[in-house]
Chain A
């Protein structure tokens, strides 16, 4: 940069911009000194977490509230009429007349 521009630059730098008035500083300070507000996304997140906790508690209460049964639910118990391993070998070992009577 030329000497002329350098001296102009220095001259400009010697000029000081006006300082902020106390009123303006106070106006700027006012919203900054308020307690921070939660943002909308934060509020939504906390709502979702709260709903999840409530749902989990409800499910837990429903499960714990059921009367205690003596054994497993009947749906998972093997029924007597269901075929079992080894049935085929037993059937094959029977005499034909026994099978015929069994099929009658």
Chain B
């Protein structure tokens, strides 16, 4: 197909940043997250005909790739060495990076993985709960419930930090 390169570039432009953030949930380093995104996107593009929902399938492919990489011995060793690298900024810094944003990032990193991935998919990926459920292989209401719990927990963590100051 003649417009094929334009199509996948458009997919990458639209979903790339959120997918990279999504892949970081399981990756010890930003480089690992990039590898996972590359592997997952390639798998998605070559097998997407079998997808019921392409966006959900794309997230599912990247998630599988990131989890597979994280499981490997090499990645485990890297994670042990550089656990603090996970805290590296995953967001574009605003002109003046606020303390508040730093707190939010930190609170996001404290969330359990199953809640954090739902927040990333919903807020930055723009997926519906149905798509999130499909990507994760859980019922829609489970995805919605994890999202609500995650936001409640985030709000509580942020409020606690504010109270401490």
Contacts and interface: CB of A to CB of B under 8 A. Distances in A.
B12 A25 contact: yes
A100 interface: no
Q: Which of A9, A18, A20, A32 has the most CB of B within 10 A?
A: A18
Given A17-B20, A19-B16, A20-B20, A27 B38 contact: yes
B55 interface: no
Interface of B: 5, 8-9, 12, 16-18, 20-21, 34, 37-38, 41-42, 45, 89-92, 100-101, 104-105, 119, 123-124, 148, 151-152, 154-155, 158
A78 interface: no
A9 B45 contact: no
- Dominant SS among interface residues on chain A: helix
23 contacts: A1-B151, A5-B152, A8-B155, A9-B123, A11-B100, A12-B123, A15-B91, A15-B92, A15-B101, A15-B104, A16-B17, A17-B18, A17-B21, A17-B92, A18-B17, A18-B20, A18-B89, A18-B92, A19-B92, A20-B37, A24-B20, A31-B42, A33-B5
